[in-house]
Structure 1
Amino acid sequence: MKLEPSFEIGSISDQLEQLRRSETFSRSGRLFALLEFLVIETLNGRGDSLKELVIGDALYSRSSPYDPGIDSSVRVEARRLRRKLHEYYESDGRTSAVRISLPQGGYRPIFTFANVDDGSRALPGSTAPIGVDLAILPFRTLAGSEAYDPVADGLTDEVIFALEHGTSIQLAPRMLIFQFKHRFYSLPEAVEMTQARTFLYGSLRVTGSTVRTTIELSDSLGFALWSERFDGPLDEPIALEERLADEVRAKIPFELLHRNVLPPGPHRAPHQPLSRNRACQHRAVAPS
């Protein structure tokens, strides 16, 4: 039985998404909100602070602070969540490579990784993903262009999508990346949370009907490795986001990311545009 040194945040975020879409949780939005909060807090290194009062204030308090002495919502919902997770992993999720459980008497989730050869092992929460080549931080609008924040979010999502599907880069997961939305952070903090080797970030400035996007790639010490500027019309935001994402994918210097990263292969040449089902377009947002 092999004990891995840390867990893979990307695998946990994928498992969380599978739980959200499952029949078990599809009609249990309140329980899933609790599960998502507990998982995100643990991934961000705050698992030890997950006490009843903290959870109650974040999820169940109304006009006044949450009082565990008169409100048992956290305890009741945690019991229900434990049962739901057990139900899921006994049915639809019985073959899951990653399992999320909530121990009795606590609120810090445990992540169990299956090993096909010799069983599985439960690991406590950690903040260190394995082998992250690049973290794409949320793009931001410059002063005077704040009304176009949705375009910045869309561009961030499209760049992540383009590099996920067109390259072999190991990216920091969306669920973690959008924690940096709408708050100030230092580079050392971003490095600690993502454990990424390189970072891609950018800004948007709107002048008239034109969007100017400036993008920079830096290493974990903050030294700039590459930068580029893109201009485009604002008349069709989604088309603009996809085109800019394709240009980033075509021009980013892959040799600077990691020696094992491969550029786009023949199955998807850099000049071939990516397409997505517009009716199913989904934008990631920062978890509350």
Structure 2
Amino acid sequence: MARSLAGATARCGSRRGTPSTDGFGPDSPTITTTPATRRSISRLRIQRSPSRTAVGSRGTSSSRRRAPLDGSRATPPGRRAEYAGYVAWRGTVPETAVPEQVREQFTSVFTFHEAENHLILGYPIPGPDGSVEPGERRLNWVWYDNLSGSLDRETVLTDAAGRRREGAVPPGELWEAVWNEKCERLAGFPDVFETLVRETDDPFVQSIFDLTVSSMVEDRVCLVGDAAFVARPHTAAGTSKAAGDGVTLAEAIESHADLDAALADWESERLAYGQRIVERGVQMGDSYMK
């Protein structure tokens, strides 16, 4: 995709700020940044490039999506991620850390347990070095929970240091009292899931959101991946959707002589796809959690 943005220099960054549009517009030959605004265009930072296109791909919290091109800090209507009403507790365990009879339940399959107000599943993923050899993989689990018990979302999103997190508490930072109370519910789970969860050293929790946008292109600023649409994890489509956005954007730019026409055609196609995948995620989640 970066190669299709003629002359662009793209670098991955981790700093966030309010997008700047200094020197940027349909008639401007460059995207110009200064030390104060170098973190401006979300995850792709382009410095004095002859390209007139920028791509925002940071994710659910994308500052590029939250702010319009006038630099305002206000979030435009229709661009807010909406809480879906439940959270996902998550973690990974080296497969050698659990008994063989537990490992066997997750070998090359997705294993589910569904009950009132929750759904938990587990499956093997590559090890930390990418290995998929038996004994070197990890077991990944996801526990969807609508917090119907004594824990509320505000308490769950308060970390071990007492800070209220926005949408997730990262690995190793869960409030111990919250996690201990959560684990009390494991008594009614199948043994394989109880073992898997209790053997997890650094569990974490994330809120589940739905996000749709009415446009993926503003002037020549494009949104891709979770910066545009966020589908619930049940679809297992986040990575492929983001890759599809990037690949099709590159193809559109390469196949059109006119950049604006390329972006318009690309946007039409990807808006329709993003809407479908989000709707599918809502259907799947609601069937499990309501």
Q: Answer whether TM exceeds 0.5 for this pair.
A: no
- Bigger helix fraction: 1
Report the TM-score, using the length of structure 2 for normalisation: 0.28
Higher relative contact order (CA 8 A, sep 6+): 2
Report the TM-score, using the length of structure 1 for normalisation: 0.28
